[in-house]
Amino acid sequence: MHFAHAITRTPGDDFAAGITSAQRGEPHLGKLLAQHASYEAMLRALGLQVRTLPPLPGFADAYFVEDAAVVLPETAVLTRPGAHSRRGEPMHLEKVLARERELVRIEAPGTLDGGDVLVVGREAFIGESERTNHSGATQLQGIFERHGYACTLLEAGAGLHLKSSVSQAAENTLLITAELARHRAFARYRRIELAARDAYAANALYVNGRLVIPAGYPQVAERLAAAGLEPLELDVSEPRKMDGGLTCLSLRF
Ligand code: CIR
């Protein structure tokens, strides 16, 4: 899938009030803003036009913009985030997405975070997780199927979201944790399985034929290079302190 656009949101100065289980120390606003700017510069270098939305006061996690919408070529889905503190985020994307796509919504009692949605070409995977319940997952499955996608629901695995454990690495290739590597849903893909210590690198960003992985995983970079992929690396240490990674910082379409 070729992407031309990305939407991001600048972290607000209340970002440290966001949800986290990471225990990786105090996050630093100045560093977070610098890493966020580098992330946007990387998206531009990959050919995307980046639209940056302003911080959303009262929503400390809103810069993890991926969780609030699922944007497909055919439609945009406003989610209903599983965390109460994030439930108001999607309506703040309504105006900007309505200009791009016809909008549909995940309705109560469904909950769904975009981080639980992996789209690989015309195939979609939805993880049921602490954030995404069965109602939310089946609502989105119906939307995918109406537009002709094959769509599989599965348990998301150990991470916060499905894409904490598996993401696209190349055309027919997934970067995946050992826990999900043998799941039959992924059997037809080439799978690059990660060692437990490298699990964070399973959240990687595949944009217009290039793969971006988090900095600090030299063995993953080497294995990818051996598999014919030349990953770019980006430091996301500050979003990581808030349980975030590469995919969650943007919507790509
Ligand atoms: C949260 O717990 O909702 C945020 N602190 C992190 C969200 C990360 N989102 C993602 O991986 N898609």
For the chain, the structural domain boundaries read 5-252
* Residue 119 scores a pLDDT above 90: yes
Mean pLDDT calculated for residue range 209-238: 96
Mean pLDDT calculated for residue range 2-14: 97
**Which residue's CA is the closest to the ligand 1 atom numbered 2?**
19
- CA 244 to ligand 1: nearest atom: 8
Mean pLDDT calculated for residue range 176-201: 97
Best residue among 8, 9, 24, 64 to mutate for probing ligand 1's pocket (most ligand atoms within 8 Å of CB) is 64
**Which residue's CA is the closest to the ligand 1 atom numbered 1?**
19
Give the whole-angstrom CA distance, residue 237 versus residue 32.
8
Residue 251: is it exposed, middle or buried by C-beta count within 10 angstroms (0-12/13-18/19+)? buried
Mean pLDDT calculated for residue range 219-235: 95
Structure confidence at residue 1 (pLDDT): 83
CA of 151 to the centre of ligand 1 (A): 23
- Helix H or strand E segment including 146: helix 134-146
Q: Could you tell me if the CB of 75 is within 6 A of ligand 1?
A: no
- pLDDT bin (cut points 50, 70, 90) of residue 37 is very high
Give the whole-angstrom CA distance, residue 56 versus residue 15.
10
Structure confidence at residue 26 (pLDDT): 84
CA of 228 to the centre of ligand 1 (A): 30
Q: What is the largest CA-CA distance in the chain?
A: 46
Is residue 20 within 8 A of residue 243, CB to CB? The reply is: yes
Rounded to two decimals, the pTM is 0.97
CA of 247 to the centre of ligand 1 (A): 10
159 DSSP assignment: S
* CATH architecture designation of domain 5-252: 5-stranded Propeller (3.75)
State the catalytic residues.
161, 248
Q: Could you tell me if the CB of 242 is within 6 A of ligand 1?
A: yes
Q: Could you tell me if the CB of 83 is within 6 A of ligand 1?
A: yes
Structure confidence at residue 110 (pLDDT): 98
CA of 48 to the centre of ligand 1 (A): 23
Mean pLDDT calculated for residue range 207-223: 97
Mean pLDDT calculated for residue range 114-124: 98
